[in-house]
Amino acid sequence: MISDTHANLTALEAVLSDISSKGLNQIVMLGDVAGKGPRPAEVLDRLRELEIPCLFGNWDELLIRSLLPNAAPEMPSMTEALEWQRGHLGPERLQWLQSLPYALDVPRRAGLVRLVHASSKGVWTRVRENDPLENFYGLFDKSPEVGLDAPTPLAVGYGDIHTTLLRHLRSFPEINPELRGRMVFNVGSVGNPLDCNLASYAVLHPSSQLEVSFVRVAYDVETECRAAVYSEMPQLEEYLEETRTGFYHPRG
């Protein structure tokens, strides 16, 4: 499971190469294909070329607002960067982003795993590492996005926060006893990790008990930074700093 490539082709290629070297046979992508980085079209085309199933992310939603008649207004400070990304993607790729689903249910031997971008309630409901436990339990909520009659999964995996995590919901059954023993994990980010500057992905193992492992991949950060400088993209300094350090840099 990969997520949040954010138009960083150097990191994506390094992660794909690492996945290939391990003989892993199925890749899924949890959203935020583009936005932030210098090569949105190239990253999107690579994912499509490999026929990797992709989910819809919040940056994907920001990018396709140009296609929607009644879209919410975007922050003025973001307009130039979003228009730059849209211009590089072009209408056909934006339509492809618009077609992406919110959730993917993956049956495993151990049980059902639900994959979403940010939460089961849509791409803008964020569950951060230090949030109250209730928010982690909320990842199992039913919603129009995941299906109101969808089965309760054994685990929910997500992206969005660019930070890996794993929580077993076994210590606080008073919140929701039905979810005792379920698991929540975040796969981190390929192109814009914000816990360190190594690209991240996660692996679901084919064991009878649900087993998730996390992989960090060193890649050539300076090659990516040169591509960013060469592209003349807006918000360059923020991207360079995040890419080099793994610390979030606010925009606008």
Please report, as ranges, the residues that interact with Fe ion according to CB under 5 A.
Answer: 4, 32
Rounded-to-integer distance, Cα 168 and Cα 183, Å: 5
Separation CA 41–CA 222 (nearest Å):
20
Residue 58 CB, shortest distance to Fe ion, in Å, is 7
Q: Check if the beta carbon of residue 4 is closer than 8 Å to that of residue 36.
A: no
- Quote the least distance from Cβ 35 to Fe ion, whole Å: 7
210 neighbors 183 (Cβ within 8 angstroms) = yes
Nearer Cβ to Fe ion, position 126 or 142? Answer: 126
Task: Name which of 32 and 242 has its Cβ closer to Fe ion.
Answer: 32
- Say how far apart CA 109 and CA 241 lie, in whole Å: 42
DSSP code of 140? G
Considering the complex, state which of residue 172 and residue 214 has its C-beta at the smaller distance from Fe ion: 214
Q: Which of 4, 195 has the CB closer to Fe ion?
A: 4
- From the list 57, 65, 73, the residue with the least C-alpha distance to 94 is 65
Minimum CB distance to Fe ion, residue 161 (Å): 8
CB 161 within 8 A of CB 215: no
Tell the smallest beta-carbon distance from residue 164 to Fe ion (Å): 14
Q: Which is nearer to Fe ion, 153 or 159 (CB)?
A: 159
Both tokens of 43, joined, read 């990253």
- Closest C-alpha among 30, 18, 24 to residue 186: 30
Amino acid letter at 131? D
Instruction: Give burial (CB, 10 Å; 0-12/13-18/19+) of 75.
Output: exposed
Give the residue with the Cβ less far from Fe ion, 33 or 154.
33
| Least distance (Å) between residue 106 CB and Fe ion | 21
Residue pair 6/189 in contact (Cβ under 8 Å)? The answer is yes
Nearest residue to the partner Fe ion, using Cβ: 32
Q: Closest approach of Cβ 162 to Fe ion, in Å?
A: 6
